[in-house]
């Protein structure tokens, strides 16, 4: 009986267990088999997210690979107001960490329950402060911020971006699409605690890197000398451009005033204007180069031909024009060297309006050059049908025509390189990783256009050398290199009277170095220099000289004029304040600091406060110049050239096949042992036809 | 009442448990099969959780890699800013007392790597005879 009772109880217990197991497994079976799709949908909704990934903006390098603009990840603070219980307290705490007013933060929080930016792109200190607050509902997110580590260097070329890293000026704007890359969505799998279990990889379309033709050192030298000239003359603005005349590549483009693109939004728009490509000015005497180029190319004049400059005045279509000096009979060479307006007018009258206009357009005036920078001005050239009876005289002197500094230097470069008009450009190449990208669209380099004959260009180069040797450009003369150039002193229009101002001018000098095989063309333009004299020969030519003296050795341009050996006394002065310890304080410059345009940097070194102790002087031999005369290799074979170079102690670089057609340095130049000697080989007939 | 105690001797030594070989074999088979199933289940569960664990570790490493990349970017930025020509110029002039060489002062003419003739990319026409 007892046993039967126990047996029954066991059976009942087992039955309950069995029932429970059946219920559980039945439920599991129901969920797995009948509700599978539904629960799978819910799980995917919870676990799988897609997030938009923005690739890092590409880096902008100078021609030597030094970074000029780069993006670095920084933290941005955002809040979810719906999760914040005490918004007033949170706003107060955040205000201290972020440096903005609590009211501003509170207003943002009250604007809605969902996502708001507290402050974007924080400094590391601010991000740390927010993180240490550990506020519920306040989070940090990583974003990329654009930095310009050289601050205001080449600011007008680089441009700047807004807070969303969208390019707003310069290269940043012109190539914004490529540099930015494309946003991409990637799928992320996360668990219940929102920890990421796995994430897809961003596939492609990183931002492209851009390598400029700008040389960081040349750019700095140009900016420094421009700044010094601005300080000396108290001018409000100025421009310097350095160009390679053989390719059109811009090595430096400096404007004053300048700005720091790290804080571009705090700067007035006029400081961000790229005057080198947008400022239109009447070029004045510099435009005589075009007048003479056209006349020479049409075989209408000779360099030694004499013109009567009418003792300094001439009447054209009822307008009386005065020269700046009373000149009598001048050769064409002297007309250019002395910048005689009367002489230029007579030459232009011989040329005629039609031909003159054609050459003006051929030199690229009145048309954008096509440089790969935004907002380039086309200049101002009246159409021929709108020319008055006096226009030809006006234009021949560089009035009644508006040019940009870039158009002017491009034209001078065409004279320098033998008559080929190259499209100026600042981008050397673009790449994504190791892959080079094509530069497409309007920025594509086009083949150069021949605008004057090589003989015309050669004649003009000689005449421009005369300007520097015994004309208005004497202050541009260099020791060791031949220089050709032209000064310009263009009167500005006085807005109050509508007439030409007697005092406000644009002083300019455009030139190239050396005369044969020019390596660089430099344009200096100073707007409204104060004081007197204020002409191009007095204000701009010395700046040209200072820039050329520094960049020519840097660019390894061989001297083509022997220099007299000098003995210089040199002594070592140890700055009494200098010790190894003082070099420890080399903290980087604050990024957001704007350049002081009221007191530009002075090119002169600071005076040493304490007189250093007297140290022994040493007499040292100065640079004696080169002592090897370069022979003429034209027509020689590769073997002959190599043997000659080895014998002379030169370092040959031979390009091409057949016989020598071009060489650098030119024949006759004096160089040192070990100088690189580049010789191009090819078919002489093909080369001759290419030159035409 | 008189109680009589009798001794009942129970001798089970002659009893032998009857072993059924078939049932024994079945038992072993069941145990083996169960072990295999259990091993597979354990393997599946282990792989599942190992996958999740590795995923978390991978994301952790990715996060560290990302932090290293961020630090690398910041250091590159610092290097670039330290190489600012204006900064070097100021240090050379103000701290070290250096001055700009004159045009004819002694200088090293050995071409360093990277320097190049500006004119050689496309040399202009040779001088006319």
Query: What pLDDT was estimated at residue A205?
Result: 58
CA distances to A280, A366, A490, A524, B20 from A378, in Å: 9, 5, 19, 20, 109
Categorize the per-residue pLDDT at A46 as very low, low, confident or very high, splitting at 50, 70 and 90. confident
Span of A14-28, A286-300, A599-613 with lowest mean pLDDT = A599-613
Name the most confidently modeled range: A85-89, A251-255, A492-496: A251-255
Q: Which residues on chain B are in Cβ contact (under 8 Å) with A244? A: 118, 121
- Whether the CB of A106 is below 8 Å from some CB of chain B: the reply is no
- Rounded distance between C-alpha atoms, residue A344 and residue A457, angstroms: 18
Residue ranges of A 639-678 with Cβ closer than 8 A to chain B: 653, 661-664, 666-668, 672, 674-676, 678
Distance from CA of A84 to the nearest CA of B (A): 27
CB contact under 8 A, A220 and B59: no
Token reading at A191: 């668990």
Q: Which CATH number does the domain housing residue A359 bear? A: 3.40.710.10
Nearest residue in B to A678, CA atom: B120
CB contact under 8 A, A575 and B97: yes
Q: Is residue A283 part of a domain?
A: yes
Phi, psi (deg, nearest 5) at residue A365: -75, 145
Span of A196-205, A415-424, A465-474 with lowest mean pLDDT = A196-205
Q: Which residues on chain A are in Cβ contact (under 8 Å) with B58? A: 198
- As a whole number, mean pLDDT of residues A33-53 equals 83
Distance from CA of B115 to the nearest CA of A (A): 6
CB contact under 8 A, B109 and A478: no
Question: Could you tell me which of A99, A482, A403 has the C-alpha nearest to residue A241?
Answer: A403
Q: Is the pLDDT of residue A171 over 60?
A: yes
Residue for token digits 């390189």? A417
Q: Is the same domain home to A474 and A378?
A: yes
CB contact under 8 A, B84 and A149: yes
Residue ending a domain, among A153, A182, A209, is: A153
Token reading at A352: 């005629």
- Rounded distance between C-alpha atoms, residue A374 and residue A392, angstroms: 32
- As a whole number, mean pLDDT of residues A108-128 equals 84
- Looking at every residue in chain A, the average pLDDT score rounds to 84
Q: Is residue A509 part of a domain?
A: yes
- As a whole number, mean pLDDT of residues A523-551 equals 93
Residue ranges of A 229-268 with Cβ closer than 8 A to chain B: 244-247, 251
pLDDT in tens, A133-154: 888 888 888 888 999 999 999 9
CB atoms closer than 10 angstroms to residue A646:
11
Token reading at B50: 């190992």
Token reading at A655: 């390009």
Nearest by CB to residue B83, choosing from A66, A663, A668, is: A66
Token reading at B128: 């006319």
Instruction: Give ∠ CA B16-B19-B21 in degrees, rounded to 5.
Output: 160
Mutate which of A242, A243, A560, A589 to test chain B, going by most B C-beta atoms within 10 A? Answer: A589
Q: Is residue B123 part of a domain?
A: no
Residue ranges of A 311-350 with Cβ closer than 8 A to chain B: none
DSSP string, A134-182: --TTEEEEEEEEEE-TTTTTTHHHH--B-TT--B-SHHHHHTHHHHH--
Token reading at A124: 């590391």
Is the CB of residue A404 less than 8 Å from the CB of residue A280? yes
Q: Is residue A177 part of a domain?
A: no
- As a whole number, mean pLDDT of residues B15-31 equals 89
Q: Is the pLDDT of residue B129 over 60?
A: no
Give the CA-trace dihedral at B92, B97, B98, B104, to 10 degrees: 160
- Looking at every residue in chain B, the average pLDDT score rounds to 80
Nearest residue in B to A477, CA atom: B103
Q: Is the pLDDT of residue A178 over 60?
A: yes
- Whether the CB of A128 is below 8 Å from some CB of chain B: the reply is no
Query: What pLDDT was estimated at residue A565?
Result: 54
Nearest residue in B to A199, CA atom: B59
Q: Is residue A620 part of a domain?
A: no
- Rounded distance between C-alpha atoms, residue A569 and residue A572, angstroms: 10
CB contact under 8 A, B120 and A678: yes
Q: Is the pLDDT of residue B75 over 50?
A: yes
Which residues, 6 or more positions from A297, have their beta carbon under 8 angstroms from its beta carbon?
A: A359, A452, A453, A456
Query: What pLDDT was estimated at residue A590?
Result: 57
Token reading at A497: 């009277």
Token reading at A459: 């004649």
Domain count, chain B: 1
Nearest by CB to residue A556, choosing from B70, B106, B117, is: B117
Q: Is the same domain home to A648 and A514?
A: no
Question: Could you tell me which of A282, A289, A221, A293 has the C-alpha nearest to residue A472?
Answer: A289
Q: Is residue A179 part of a domain?
A: no
Core vs surface per residue A93-112: b (16+ CB within 10 A) or e: bbbebbeeebeebbebbeee
CB atoms closer than 10 angstroms to residue B24:
10
Q: Which residues on chain B are in Cβ contact (under 8 Å) with A195? A: 56, 59
Categorize the per-residue pLDDT at A692 as very low, low, confident or very high, splitting at 50, 70 and 90. very low
Token reading at B113: 């790597």
Nearest by CB to residue A520, choosing from B84, B118, B124, is: B118
DSSP summary character for residue A281: B
Q: Is residue A643 part of a domain?
A: yes
Domain count, chain A: 3
- As a whole number, mean pLDDT of residues A378-393 equals 92
CB atoms closer than 10 angstroms to residue A327:
21
What range does the domain containing A97 cover?
Answer: 54-153
Burial (0-12, 13-18, 19+ Cβ within 10 Å), A6: exposed
On the question of a cis peptide bond just before residue A608, with omega within 30 degrees of 0, the verdict is no
Residue for token digits 């004081």? A531
Q: Which residues on chain B are in Cβ contact (under 8 Å) with A583? A: 95
Token reading at A618: 């040493």
Mutate which of B69, B116, B119 to test chain A, going by most A C-beta atoms within 10 A? Answer: B119
Q: Which residues on chain A are in Cβ contact (under 8 Å) with B128? A: 455, 458
What range does the domain containing B39 cover?
Answer: 21-95
pLDDT in tens, A266-283: 889 989 999 999 999 999
CB contact under 8 A, A588 and B56: no
Output B17 or A439, whichever has higher pLDDT: B17
Distance from CA of A240 to the nearest CA of B (A): 17
- Rounded distance between C-alpha atoms, residue A295 and residue A348, angstroms: 7
Q: Is residue B51 part of a domain?
A: yes
Question: Could you tell me which of A648, A287, A671 has the C-alpha nearest to residue A489?
Answer: A287
Q: Is the same domain home to A149 and A222?
A: no
Is the CB of residue A217 less than 8 Å from the CB of residue A554? yes
Mutate which of B77, B120, B128, B129 to test chain A, going by most A C-beta atoms within 10 A? Answer: B120
- Whether the CB of A573 is below 8 Å from some CB of chain B: the reply is yes
- Rounded distance between C-alpha atoms, residue A306 and residue A554, angstroms: 41
Which residues, 6 or more positions from A488, have their beta carbon under 8 angstroms from its beta carbon?
A: A283, A284, A285, A286, A287, A398, A506, A507, A508, A509, A510, A536, A540
- Whether the CB of A549 is below 8 Å from some CB of chain B: the reply is yes
Output A605 or A634, whichever has higher pLDDT: A634
Query: What pLDDT was estimated at residue A408?
Result: 97
Nearest by CB to residue B82, choosing from A197, A573, A586, is: A586
Query: What pLDDT was estimated at residue A299?
Result: 94
Categorize the per-residue pLDDT at A155 as very low, low, confident or very high, splitting at 50, 70 and 90. very high
Q: What percent of chain B has pLDDT over 90?
A: 47
Output A310 or A334, whichever has higher pLDDT: A334
Q: Which residues on chain B are in Cβ contact (under 8 Å) with A662? A: 123-126
Nearest by CB to residue A556, choosing from B81, B111, B126, is: B111
Q: Is residue B8 part of a domain?
A: no
Nearest by CB to residue B127, choosing from A196, A582, A667, is: A667
Q: Please name the helix (run of DSSP H) or strand (run of DSSP E) that holds residue A295, with its range, or none.
A: helix A288-297
Query: What pLDDT was estimated at residue A586?
Result: 45
CB atoms closer than 10 angstroms to residue A637:
14
Distance from CA of B1 to the nearest CA of A (A): 30
Mutate which of B62, B73, B109, B125 to test chain A, going by most A C-beta atoms within 10 A? Answer: B125
Nearest residue in A to B104, CA atom: A623
Categorize the per-residue pLDDT at A18 as very low, low, confident or very high, splitting at 50, 70 and 90. very high
- Rounded distance between C-alpha atoms, residue B38 and residue B34, angstroms: 6
Nearest residue in A to B83, CA atom: A150
Query: What pLDDT was estimated at residue A204?
Result: 55
Q: Is the pLDDT of residue B114 over 80?
A: no
pLDDT in tens, A52-87: 667 889 999 999 999 999 999 889 998 888 888 888
Q: Is the same domain home to A148 and A239?
A: no
Token reading at A534: 């204020």
Q: Is residue A81 part of a domain?
A: yes
CB contact under 8 A, B86 and A622: no
- Whether the CB of A569 is below 8 Å from some CB of chain B: the reply is no
Residue ending a domain, among A527, A554, A581, is: A554
Quick check: helix, strand or coil at residue A509?
A: strand
CB contact under 8 A, B105 and A623: yes
Residue for token digits 């809040």? A79
Span of A19-23, A418-422, A456-460, A630-634 with lowest mean pLDDT = A630-634
Question: Could you tell me which of A461, A449, A489, A244 has the C-alpha nearest to residue A367?
Answer: A449
**Angular region, A645: left φ>0, alpha ψ -120 to 50, beta rest:** alpha
Question: Could you tell me which of A448, A62, A423 has the C-alpha nearest to residue A222?
Answer: A62
Categorize the per-residue pLDDT at B9 as very low, low, confident or very high, splitting at 50, 70 and 90. confident
On the question of a cis peptide bond just before residue A665, with omega within 30 degrees of 0, the verdict is yes
Mutate which of B107, B123, B129 to test chain A, going by most A C-beta atoms within 10 A? Answer: B123
- Complex ipTM, two decimals? 0.72
Q: Is the same domain home to A350 and A458?
A: yes
Helical ranges in B1-129 per DSSP H: 21-82, 85-90
Query: What pLDDT was estimated at residue B117?
Result: 38
Residue ending a domain, among A115, A130, A153, is: A153
Give the CA-trace dihedral at A552, A556, A559, A563, to 10 degrees: 80
Upper half-sphere CA count for residue A519 (Cβ side, 13 Å): 26
Span of A636-640, B69-73, B124-128 with lowest mean pLDDT = B124-128
Q: What percent of chain A has pLDDT over 90?
A: 48
Q: Is the same domain home to A311 and A432?
A: yes
Burial (0-12, 13-18, 19+ Cβ within 10 Å), B105: middle
Distance from CA of B38 to the nearest CA of A (A): 18
Query: What pLDDT was estimated at residue B50?
Result: 95
- Rounded distance between C-alpha atoms, residue B11 and residue A293, angstroms: 141
Distance from CA of A238 to the nearest CA of B (A): 19
Q: Please name the helix (run of DSSP H) or strand (run of DSSP E) that holds residue A75, with its range, or none.
A: strand A67-79
Q: Is the same domain home to A342 and A488?
A: yes
Q: Which CATH number does the domain housing residue A641 bear? A: 3.30.10.20
Is the CB of residue A235 less than 8 Å from the CB of residue A229? yes
Is the CB of residue A692 less than 8 Å from the CB of residue A453? yes
- Whether the CB of A123 is below 8 Å from some CB of chain B: the reply is no
A–B interface: beta-carbon pairs under 8 A: 190
Q: Is the same domain home to A488 and A341?
A: yes
CB contact under 8 A, A555 and B115: yes
Output A308 or B101, whichever has higher pLDDT: A308
Within A220-282, strands assigned E span: 237-243, 250-256
Q: Is residue B122 part of a domain?
A: no
Nearest residue in B to A73, CA atom: B70
- Rounded distance between C-alpha atoms, residue A662 and residue A646, angstroms: 19
């Amino acid at each position: 009986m007892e046993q039967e009772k126990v047996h029954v109880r066991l059976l009942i217990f087992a039955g309950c267990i069995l029932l429970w197991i059946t219920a559980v497994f039945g439920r599991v079976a129901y969920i797995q088999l009948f509700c599978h799709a539904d629960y799978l949908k819910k799980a995917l909704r919870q676990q799988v997210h897609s997030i938009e990934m923005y690739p890092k903006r590409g880096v902008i390098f100078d021609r030597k690979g030094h970074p000029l603009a780069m993006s670095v990840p920084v933290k941005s603070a955002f809040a979810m107001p719906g999760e914040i219980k005490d918004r007033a307290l949170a706003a107060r705490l955040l205000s201290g960490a972020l440096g903005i007013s609590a009211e501003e933060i509170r207003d943002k929080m009250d604007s809605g329950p969902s996502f708001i930016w507290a402050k974007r792109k924080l400094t590391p200190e601010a991000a740390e402060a927010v993180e240490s607050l550990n506020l519920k509902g306040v989070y940090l997110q990583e974003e990329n911020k654009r930095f310009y580590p050289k601050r205001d260097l080449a600011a007008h070329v680089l441009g700047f971006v807004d807070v969303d890293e969208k390019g707003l000026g310069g290269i940043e704007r012109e190539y914004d699409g490529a540099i930015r890359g494309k946003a991409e969505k990637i799928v992320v799998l996360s668990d219940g605690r929102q920890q990421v279990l796995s994430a897809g990889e961003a596939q492609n379309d990183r931002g492209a890197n851009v390598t400029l033709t700008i040389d960081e050192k040349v750019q700095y030298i140009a900016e420094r000398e421009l700044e010094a000239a601005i300080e000396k003359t108290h001018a409000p603005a100025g421009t310097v451009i350095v160009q390679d005349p053989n390719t059109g590549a811009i090595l430096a483009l400096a404007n004053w005033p300048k700005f720091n693109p790290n804080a571009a939004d705090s700067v007035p728009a006029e400081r961000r204007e790229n005057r080198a490509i947008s400022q239109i000015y009447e070029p004045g005497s510099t435009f005589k180069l075009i007048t003479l180029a056209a006349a020479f190319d049409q075989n209408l004049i000779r360099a030694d031909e004499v013109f009567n400059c009418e003792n300094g005045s001439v009447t054209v279509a009822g307008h009386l024009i005065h020269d700046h000096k009373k000149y009598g009979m001048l050769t064409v060479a002297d007309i250019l060297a002395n910048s005689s307006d009367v002489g230029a007018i007579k030459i232009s009258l011989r040329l005629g309006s039609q031909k003159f206009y054609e050459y003006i357009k051929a030199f690229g005036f009145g048309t954008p050059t096509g440089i790969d920078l935004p907002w380039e001005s086309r200049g101002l050239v009246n159409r021929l049908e709108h020319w008055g009876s006096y226009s030809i005289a006006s234009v021949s002197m560089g009035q009644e025509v508006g040019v940009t500094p870039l158009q002017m230097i491009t034209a001078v470069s065409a004279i320098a390189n033998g008559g080929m008009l190259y499209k100026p450009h600042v981008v050397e190449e673009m790449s994504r990783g190791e892959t080079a990208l094509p530069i497409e669209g309007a920025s594509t380099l086009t083949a150069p256009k021949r605008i004057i004959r090589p003989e015309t260009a050669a004649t003009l180069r000689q005449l421009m050398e005369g300007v520097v040797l015994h004309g208005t450009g004497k202050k541009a003369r260099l020791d060791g290199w031949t220089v050709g150039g032209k000064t310009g002193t263009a009167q500005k229009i006085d807005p109050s009277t509508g007439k030409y101002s007697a005092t406000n001018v644009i002083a300019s000098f455009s030139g190239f170095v050396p005369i044969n095989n020019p390596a660089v063309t430099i344009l200096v333009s100073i707007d409204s220099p104060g004081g007197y004299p204020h002409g191009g020969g007095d204000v701009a030519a010395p700046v040209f000289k200072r820039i050329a003296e520094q960049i020519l050795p840097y660019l390894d341009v061989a001297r083509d004029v022997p220099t007299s050996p000098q003995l210089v006394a040199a002594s070592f002065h140890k700055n009494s304040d200098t010790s190894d310890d003082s070099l420890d304080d080399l903290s980087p410059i604050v990024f957001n600091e704007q350049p002081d345009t009221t007191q530009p940097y002075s090119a002169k070194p600071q005076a040493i406060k304490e007189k250093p102790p007297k140290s022994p002087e040493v007499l040292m031999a100065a640079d004696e110049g080169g002592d090897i005369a370069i022979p003429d290799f034209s027509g020689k074979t590769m073997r002959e050239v190599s043997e000659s170079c080895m014998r002379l102690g030169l370092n040959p670089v031979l390009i091409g096949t057949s016989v020598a057609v071009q060489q650098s340095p030119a024949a006759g130049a004096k160089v040192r042992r070990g100088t690189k000697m580049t010789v191009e080989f090819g078919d002489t007939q093909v080369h001759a036809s290419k030159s035409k | 009442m008189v109680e009589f105690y009798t001794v009942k001797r129970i001798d089970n030594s002659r009893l032998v448990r009857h072993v059924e070989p078939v049932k024994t074999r079945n038992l072993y088979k069941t145990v083996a099969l169960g072990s295999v199933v259990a091993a597979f289940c354990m393997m599946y569960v282990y792989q599942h959780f190992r996958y999740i664990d590795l995923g978390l570790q991978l994301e952790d490493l990715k996060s560290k890699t990302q932090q290293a990349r961020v630090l690398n970017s910041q250091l590159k930025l610092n290097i670039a800013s330290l190489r600012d020509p204006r900064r070097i110029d100021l240090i050379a002039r103000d701290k070290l007392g250096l001055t700009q060489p004159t045009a004819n002062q002694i200088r090293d003419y050995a071409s360093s790597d990277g320097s190049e003739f500006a004119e050689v990319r496309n040399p202009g026409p040779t001088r006319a005879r």
